[in-house]
Structure 1
Amino acid sequence: MARTQRWVPPAEGTYKVNYDGAYFVDEEKAGIGVVVRNELGQVMGSLAEKIDMPSTVEVLKALAARRAMLFMEELGLRHAVFEGDSELVVKALVGHCPDQSSIGHIIKDCKSLRSLFQTCSFSHVRRQGNGVTHALTRRARQYFPLTVWMESVPLDITYLVYVDITS
């Protein structure tokens, strides 16, 4: 389980899928953001989704991981490295997570979704390496229930994609 501080491109032919979640406590809602990029850092697709507020941050981050996997399946892409900033969720995805834990049922779903991919791995990234998805989660407040951008991100966060591939 690699731990990076900035966005690192995936191997050729593989897609890096960053995901994140954020609470909107005042609305009792939460946001999920996902961005899919190729080895050149080019965006293949991104999304911002507003959902009902889950009980814990871990549940939110696990839901974001599952949404990232489903988005990749919807895009028809079969080689993925999924990267999120919750170490607990990433550890559960790569190891053993008891079904009775608060995220156990979501992790079980994610593990069954692995069969959709020819290659599938999970890694942890610090928040500094997850800036685009962090911005997308904030954007979910405006886009209800779901907005998808093909081969792009919202114009006002395009600079974050550029920062990732030039730093």
Structure 2
Amino acid sequence: MTTTVLGAGVTAFETNLVETPSTTGDFKKPLLEEVIKPKTIITKPEETKKHKKMPSTQSNKSLLISNNDLLAVKGEEGIAVISIIAETGKKAKYTWRFMPSNGATEQNGIGDLYEKYAVARETDDSRYLIDLNGKLKFKAGPFYLKWSYSSDMNSWLYGDEKVELGKLPDTSIKQFSF
């Protein structure tokens, strides 16, 4: 039995789980099955709805990009462009290029990202998740960013107050010119 919470598969192995009769003779479901049964869907905060309506360059905190877009990151140190390809299984691959503002040589790199969560505690109306060492943070040049899965075609990217985030729709990282 598997339940999905923000993309994390939590599997309950049914070893030694048998239905046992209660004092009234009725059979009860195994306790573990009841605990992980989905009751609510965790959604992103209301703040993210604002970002979808805003032009992509106006939000310095977060940005939704598709697999066809480039993320542009601008800071005092220079400009980075990042291509993130979201995949099934709450994973993504990224490629980045960075051009320092001091005219030094262009830098580049690649990496993998993934989300991995488990249910720590559940109440009647919510679930409390714990991160099981997913890879959500990454570095592109001098810039530290955070990633989260949106769908198999989209990713959320988060920067800090020191950088500006922008989206370059339908742009290839190989063809991008600084």
In the superposition, the TM-score normalised over structure 1's length comes to 0.33
Bigger Cα Rg: 2
Query: Which has more strand, going by share of residues?
Result: 2
Query: Which has more helix, going by share of residues?
Result: 1
Point out which structure has higher relative CO (alpha carbons under 8 A, 6+ apart): 1
